[in-house]
Structure 1
């Protein structure tokens, strides 16, 4: 098997594993047709007493607090995305395989929502030793994107890899992979409570079309909760 095919296989397995997890927790993922999206990851029932009656609440998997630096040397934390819907992925600027395709597709998401202040994009570099602020700035300039909408993030390597696990994404150093890293090619859709609500193949136009259509479902959820 070639290195390129090995990376593609790993990415396919990651997406398949996530889809299987969603089915195990929440049944078949046909919720888009029902104007709602599933919540991915583990969940925990918690009992509490209300007016003498036992009520069971569900605690869902949530993305933990984080702190990274973007292409303009601005600190990006959970407060940056507070109350917003955001799309995230993992990449590295010298990636010779899937990353260029991913960024072409993420640009489509950017263009679709660049005027909506309630939608943000976060892209985490998994090669922070190379992807400094200056490198990310040059990369963003070549993409032609604004920092306020699309944050290209760098920071402590271990923290970035821990965040990948929180997003249920694959990301690791891999001497056998082209470029020295292997990672998921997925985009992850996160709601206003930092819960994972969708994953999409970031190299496939059709799947990114689905992401673009799904974002308003989460924006409308926020309106419905008011």
Structure 2
């Protein structure tokens, strides 16, 4: 039987594409700076990416959470307050579905930073976590000084938080979830009130994890 040359070319093309295909990688967000360095006697240009600054906050179980606590994990960060009458309950409900998916996975963490430290004491954060059904340190509801949290939101997560007495709840903040890799670089930003974007974040988390476990 004579095999068509077009068929052979098509199969060959598919084989080449399969061999050359690479796993999808998430972009690195934030500012970046080109720097020159010497490698094997040659000058090459490398890129320094924005990373999350060092921080140290206390969670709902009075445990200290800092950069070292997260060195072997990717994580999702957001900003909220427990008495929020608008987007926070929606965000927490949506993030809970992602938490349930990765529950027990030591490579995945969740950080929710309160922007109302005066009201959101450790017992209040603990009650909030218990009501959601969150146990342990995989999802930490973090308490820090207002200045340190607001500065971290602005300089670390490209986010914002501020007091605003003209709106219900008295605080204004970003409704985004920020996906951070093990090198403390932001790899994705998702509207925490949008179920489709949260679902995409969940898929992207699988993609990010695969970077650390190549097949």
Alignment TM class, shorter chain as reference: 0.7 to 0.9
The answer to whether structure 1 residue 63 and structure 2 residue 71 are counterparts is no
Inter-partner Cα distance in structure 2 for 1:48 and 1:163: 30
Structure 1 unaligned segments of length 5 or more: list them: 1-32
Question: Shift of the alpha carbon at 1:146?
Answer: 1.3
Inter-partner Cα distance in structure 1 for 2:135 and 2:181: 22
The answer to whether structure 1 residue 97 and structure 2 residue 70 are counterparts is no
Alignment match, 1:14? none
Inter-partner Cα distance in structure 2 for 1:187 and 1:208: 8
The answer to whether structure 1 residue 45 and structure 2 residue 34 are counterparts is yes
The answer to whether structure 1 residue 169 and structure 2 residue 151 are counterparts is no
Question: Shift of the alpha carbon at 1:220?
Answer: 1.0
Inter-partner Cα distance in structure 2 for 1:136 and 1:115: 21
The answer to whether structure 1 residue 208 and structure 2 residue 164 are counterparts is no
Alignment match, 1:16? none
* TM value normalised by structure 2: 0.87
Q: Is the 8 A contact 1:186 1:200 kept in 2?
A: yes
Please show how residues 71-150 of structure 1 align to structure 2 within 5 Å: 71-150=60-139
Inter-partner Cα distance in structure 1 for 2:189 and 2:29: 9
* TM value normalised by structure 1: 0.83
Q: Secondary structure at the match of 1:179?
A: coil
Q: Is the 8 A contact 1:71 1:147 kept in 2?
A: no
For these two proteins, the number of residue pairs brought into alignment is 193
Inter-partner Cα distance in structure 1 for 2:136 and 2:176: 21
Larger Rg: 2
Structure 1 or 2: more helix by fraction: 1
Question: Shift of the alpha carbon at 1:65?
Answer: 0.6
Q: Secondary structure at the match of 2:43?
A: strand
Inter-partner Cα distance in structure 2 for 1:112 and 1:143: 15
Runs of 4+ in 1 over 4 A off after TM superposition: none
Inter-partner Cα distance in structure 2 for 1:83 and 1:212: 19
| Pairwise CA RMSD | 1.4
Question: Shift of the alpha carbon at 1:34?
Answer: 6.2
Question: Shift of the alpha carbon at 1:218?
Answer: 1.1
Alignment match, 2:7? none
Question: Shift of the alpha carbon at 1:114?
Answer: 0.5
